[in-house]
Each structure stands twice: as C-alpha cells, then as structure tokens.
Structure 1
Amino acid sequence: MIRFDTVTKIYKTNGHRRTVLDRASITMRSGVNYGILGINGAGKSTMIRMMAGSESATRGHILRTSRVSWPLGFSGGFHPLMTGKENAIFVARVYGEDPRKVLDFVADFSEIGDYINVPIRTYSSGMSSRFNFGMSMAIPFDTYLIDEVTAVGDARFQQRCEEVWSTRRANADIIICSHSMETLRSYATEGIVLANGRAVIYPDINDAIEVYQRLNQ
C-alpha cells in the first residue's frame, strides 16, 4: 500500500513557481494495479519518483507499507564511477539481498561480459539499458513502478526480458504511467488522473482514460 497524505509538490525555477500536487490525498491499495494519466506536465513522472523515494514532497507525507521498486530501468541510483559489479553489490546490500546472488543474476542477464568489472559510465546506451533492466529484475519487489515501457535490446533479448518480467509481475503490483492507452489497459485495472494539482482515483481504468481524453482535447 502507498498513501499520499495531503502531499504538495512545488517546483521553483528561475523565479517561477509550479505546483504539481496540491494537498493530494490518495491511497493505492495492495493487490491492485494502477495506471497514472495526465496531460504533459501534469506530474506523472514526478509522482512515480515520489513513490520510489527518489524525490521528496514539499509538504505532506508518503507512506509505504510494502517494498517499492525504483522506476523500471532507471539508472539514476547507480554511481557512474563504480563498476557494474560494485553497483550491483551495493544495491543488493541496501535492499538486504544476497550480493552474490544479485551479481550473478545481473551478470548473466545483461550479457555485458567483462564490462561488469568496469565503471558504468563507460557503457554504451545498449549496455546501460541491459544492466539497468537486469538490476530491476534481480531484486524482487512488492510493487513495481514503470515510467513508460521501453524495449531493451534485440528481439531475442526482449523475449528474455518479457519472460523474467512476466514472472516478477505475477507476484507483485504495478503502478505505471504511459502515453499508450492500450498499455495502460493491459497493465492496470484502476486509474489515477492528475490535473491542476489534484489526483483522483477511478476504480475502472477505462473511466480514467475517458476523463484523460476529455482533458487532452
């Protein structure tokens, strides 16, 4: 379960003030998959980062009663000067997982060979994507956060991604934001619409999509 309790999020840049969330209070229940919708700039990605804990609320509180992932494939938590091996071991220890088990999984899954022993800042975009996705799959979470679904690697590797991802999501909840309505329908049963600093939950994802489409006209 993830609960936003009167959460306000304000950005201040170049003398401008933008309110993304204004005293928003919603509860995302365990056992339910949610899709987040809103026009560009409504705060979908910000909300995902706040759920992950990588961004703080300006005011209010966010309560998590389950183990929540970082956004799927996100690399912002890895240190560019550390090797893939060092990053994998560090993250495993942070989440209380067996470092050797996590490292072995990532090394095998990412297929980057000896590059696991060099700083990740040297990785190509393809290598980084495979390493990042492998890290996301190496640690089991109760809730997975997705900020757009992106394909990783060639067709063969994408099949590997789908196989392990299917296993993970069979035993976990998903919270996803996407511009694809079909993707939202395939992953989510309920919807959260962001507009004018408010967040409203709709028990049927189709109702949320209908509201979003009206806002986007």
Structure 2
Amino acid sequence: MIQLENVTKYYPSKLGNQYILQNVNFAIPAGHNIGILGANGAGKSTLFRLLAGSEYPNKGRITTDLNISWPVALATGIHPEMSGRENARFIGRVNGVMDLDEFERKVQSFAALAVKFDLPVKGYSSGMRSRLAFACCISIDFDIYLIDEATSVGDPKFKRKARSALIQRSEEANVIMVSHDLDEIRQFCDSAIILNDGSLTFYNDLEQAIERYNNL
C-alpha cells in the first residue's frame, strides 16, 4: 500500500498558489495494476511525480513499504560521463542487485546498444538513453513499476519488445500508469484512480472508472 497523509501540493503563480492536492489522505491499495485518470490539467503527472519521489509535497508525506521503480523509460540517474555498462552496474548496485554480472548482461541484451554500450552516454541519442534506462529498470525486480508513456521509447521493434516486457512484469508485479491512451490503460491495468478537483477516488472496476472519466 502507498499512503498519502495530509498531502498538499501547489505551484506558486501570479494569481496565488495553484493547488493540485490539498490535505489529501488516501491509500493506494497493493495488488492492483492501476491507471491514473483525469481531465487535462487535473494533476495526473504531478501525482505521478509525487509517487515517484521526483517531486515532494509542500505539506504532508507519502509512505510505503513497497519497492517502487523510478518512472520506466525516464533516464533518471543515468550519468553522461559513464558508459552504458558502467551506468548499468552503478544502477544495479544502488538498487541492491545481488548478481551484477547477470544484471549487466540482461541490460546489455535488452538495450541492444551494440558497441555503444561501452561508450559514454553523453554521446547517445535521447532514444538510446531511454533504451538504456528502460533496460535497467525492467531488469530489476520491483514491487511496483511506474509507467509514464513508456511504450513510446525507441523504434517500432524496441517498442514491441518494451510492451511485451511490461506486460510480463504487470503479471508478476504491479504497475501504476499514466497514459492518454485508454487502450494502453486497458492492456496494462485492472483498476484506476480518478483525480478530479483535487480529490482521489479508487475504482476496483476499470471500465466503471473509464466511464466516469469519459463523463468528466
């Protein structure tokens, strides 16, 4: 379970603080693959970043006893001066991977960067960086994978491979997904959280959530 306790999140503006969440108490249940739904501007991406720990509440806290990934395909923690191989070993070590040699082999195979796996990441294209980050993330056994438009990574061949890997992970662990593609939400998720006017509502029935979302 992920617990939001008195969470407030706002952004300052010329018109005053613009609140996304205000004194929210909410439990995100474990054991579900959850899509985050809401109208444009409702704060879906902000909520996602809060869950990922890439942003922090202005007040309150978010706690969990689960091992949560960084957002899949986001090149968080990738060091430009290090090679792909060095980055893989560093990320594996930071995330407590026991067999770094096996992890390195998995990342190298999945990222399919050929000889560039041993070259500095600063020379990679944005797509290559994303492939490396995706490969590192998907090769670690997390309890929950955070997915934000992750299947848009790379060329069509890699997209198919990424989608297949995510489907497999969603059967073994859980996912929390932000996507504008309802077909993608249906493919990966069995339930949803609707964010509307700063309040969160969990729907165990995904289709009920989508119907509610479409009527917002």
Amino acid at match of 2:139: A
Secondary structure of 2:151's counterpart equals coil
Matched AA of 1:203:
N
Alpha-carbon distance between aligned partners in 2 of 1:95 and 1:213, rounded to the nearest angstrom: 39
Q: CA deviation at 1:15?
A: 7.1
Q: Secondary structure at the match of 2:60?
A: strand
Counterpart in the other structure of 1:72: 72
- Say if 1:10 and 1:58, in contact at 8 Å, map to a contact too: yes
The equivalent residue for 2:105 is 104
After superposition, give the CA deviation of every residue in 1:117-174 in whole Å (9 maximum; x if it has no partner): 2221210133223212111211111111111243333444334334433332221011
User: 1:139 matched to which residue of 2?
Assistant: 140
Q: Are 1:168 and 2:169 counterparts?
A: yes
Offset at residue 111 of structure 1 (A)? 1.4
What is aligned with 2:45?
Answer: 45
Question: 1:55 offset after TM fit, Å?
Answer: 1.5
Question: Within 5 Å, which residues of 2 pair with 1:77-92?
Answer: 77-92=77-92
CA shift, 1:99, in A, is: 2.5
Residue deviations 1:88-131 (CA, integer Å, cap 9, x gap): 12211111103322222111211112222222121013322321
User: What RMSD over aligned residues (CA atoms) do the two structures have, in Å?
Assistant: 2.0
Does residue 1:95 correspond to 2:85, yes or no? no
Q: Match for 2:81: what amino acid?
A: L
Deviation at 1:33, TM superposition (A): 1.3
* CA positional deviation for 1:74: 0.8
Amino acid at match of 1:170: E
User: 1:69 is paired with a residue of what secondary structure?
Assistant: coil
What is the TM-score normalised by the length of structure 1?
0.89
Partner secondary structure for residue 126 of structure 1: helix
Q: Please tell me whether the aligned partners of residues 33 and 190 of structure 1 are also in contact (alpha carbons under 8 angstroms).
A: yes
Q: Give distance in 2, aligned partners of 1:175 and 1:93.
A: 24
Where structure 2 has 5 or more consecutive residues not aligned to the other structure, the ranges are none
Shift of the 163–198 alpha-carbon distance from structure 1 to 2, 3 Å rule, reads closer
Once the two structures are superposed, what CA deviation does each residue of 1:11-37 show, in whole Å capped at 9, x if it has no partner? 225674221111222212221111101
Structure 1 residue identity aligned to 2:28: M
Report SS of the residue matched to 2:27: strand
Using structure 2 for the length normalisation, give the TM-score.
Answer: 0.89
Separation in 1 of the partners of 2:50 and 2:77?
14
Instruction: Indicate the SS of the match to 2:17.
Output: strand
Contact 1:189 1:203 (C-alpha < 8 Å) held by counterparts: yes
Question: What secondary structure is seen at the aligned counterpart in 1 of 2:70?
Answer: strand
Contact 1:26 / 1:201 at 8 angstroms: preserved in 2? no
Question: What do the CA deviations read for 1:50-83 (whole angstroms, capped 9, x no partner)?
Answer: 1122221111111111111111111132222322
- Percent identical: 39
What is the number of residues matched between the two proteins?
215
Q: Distance in 2 between matches of 1:205 and 1:25?
A: 22
